[in-house]
Amino acid sequence: MSSSAAYHKSTLPNGVRVVTGPMSGVRSASLIFYYNVGSRYERAEHSGISHYLEHMLFKGTELRPDPMQISQAIEGVGGMLNAATGRESTSYWAKVPSTHFALSFDVLADILRNSVIDSTELDRERSVIIEEIRSIYDSPEDLVHEVIDEVVWGDQGVGRSIAGIEETVETIDREVMVDYWRRNYNPSRLVIASGGDVDHAEVVALTEQHFGDLADDPAADQYEPAVTDQTEPRVHLIDRDTEQAHICLAMPALPYSDDRRYVQGTLEAVLSSGMSSRLFQELREKRGLVYSVYGYFRPYEDVGQGVFYAGTDPERVDEAIVALLGELRKLRDEPLSAEELQMTKDLRKGRLLMGLEDSRSVASWVGSQEATYGEIKTPEEVMERIEAVTIEDVQALAQELFREDRLSLALAGPFGDRDDFAELLTF
């Protein structure tokens, strides 16, 4: 077992990693199972299977054949239970009073090891997934975020929808799903994280009991590395008769494996963290162009993506795009002031600390770091890295990322066959 002042880690002989973040003064315990597999690992013809499988693992096990038994086991003691699918990971979690921690482990382990994947339930849930996909297409604000990924990456794993499309979801039968599940939910890809009123030795013992016999499958799926081959701006229009135009401006960015991720996080915070951020102040407060404006960077292992969203009146969409680009250009061409940089650092550090007051947040902190980086940094270590970011670092990265030939635009609104938006994408 390895440990720091705050966190503990053990690795089972088969490769399952157990990480814990004990907390004093709390009565809850949170448990998260992270698998390093997600939608970009899928074969194109089975796009959406990771997300579909996540749903199906709540639909009954040999011990708990009625799906209601799964939710009631956790909710019946006041707990919460859920899951999420990403492009590189899938997670399952529960938060319970700490006196019921062993129960939460038993329930999650049961669904992850013993789900029956009943064919009738599979077909029923297929309809639910398809309705979920359709709901995205019915919401221009959601759809524009889906489309921008496709504009930047095309038909690569990082560009395809996590939920898949109707045509691929329709092809996934029980045999295909069980094969994907057994092949990819491997011990070497599994991190079991807990936070709150927990004991590390107990978590390790429960892990050995429920997962100690699990073996790797050498045929596990791998993702195709992303290719960034863009040489000119790209535009995709979604013609909808909407009252508001929805804009996503994007570009490739740094992967999480790049140590400059701390600089990228600072750049994101300058532009988009809170009402004092540059985008909010310029586009909403000064110009009155938008109600909602924000940005985010989404890093993967080998590549990343920056996205900036704004919703505006269709009559002012050109002005909003130009204003968005103007803020990126300003950050690229003009050094931050020392005062603004320090304010941004303090904001990031404060939010980091406040975000670790809950047992689920601590479980997420230790689990996501272990699953992503293979090591766990303390908040103090991360804050040191944030504090080390310089004015020159931010400007240099902005110059690297904010390039005219790497810009992509997705736009939803009543624009017919208008074809001149690419002319706006200039620095």
What's the chain's average pLDDT?
A: 96
- In terms of Cα–Cα distance, which of 87, 107, 86 is closest to 95? 107
Query: What's the pLDDT score for residue 2?
Result: 59
pLDDT at 5 over 90: no
Average pLDDT value for residue range 33-57: 98
Query: Rounded distance, CA 57 to CA 92, Å?
Result: 10
- What is the spatial order of strands in the sheet that 304-312 belongs to? 234-239, 408-413, 245-253, 304-312, 290-299
User: Which residue numbers are catalytic?
Assistant: 54
Residue 224 near residue 157, CB atoms below 8 Å: yes
Which residues does residue 410 pair with via DSSP β-bridges, in sequence order? 236, 248
Nearest C-alpha neighbor of 250 from the set 235, 229, 262, 263: 235
Of 221, 204, 220, 222, nearest to 13 by C-alpha is: 204
Q: What is the pLDDT of residue 417?
A: 82
Q: Is 396 left (phi over 0), alpha (psi -120 to 50) or beta?
A: alpha
Note the pLDDT tens digit of each residue in 226-258.
Answer: 999 999 999 999 999 999 999 999 999 999 999
The pLDDT confidence band at residue 102, using thresholds 50, 70 and 90, is: very high
CATH topology identical between 2-211 and 234-424:
yes
pLDDT at 4 over 60: no
- What gap in Å lies between CA 112 and CA 108, rounded to an integer? 6
For β-strands 28-35 and 90-97, DSSP reports them as antiparallel
2-211 CATH fold: Cytochrome Bc1 Complex; Chain A, domain 1 (3.30.830)
What confidence tens digit (pLDDT) does each residue in 205-214 have?
999 999 999 9
pLDDT (average), residues 139-161: 96
Which among 53, 54, 73 is positioned nearest to 63, based on CA atoms? 73
CATH topology of domain 234-424: Cytochrome Bc1 Complex; Chain A, domain 1 (3.30.830)
Contacts of 407 (CB under 8 A, 6+ apart): 233, 234, 249, 250, 251, 425
Share of the chain above pLDDT 90, in %: 97
Q: Which sequence spans correspond to the domains of the chain?
A: 2-211, 234-424
Angle at 70 between CA 68 and CA 76, to 5 degrees: 85
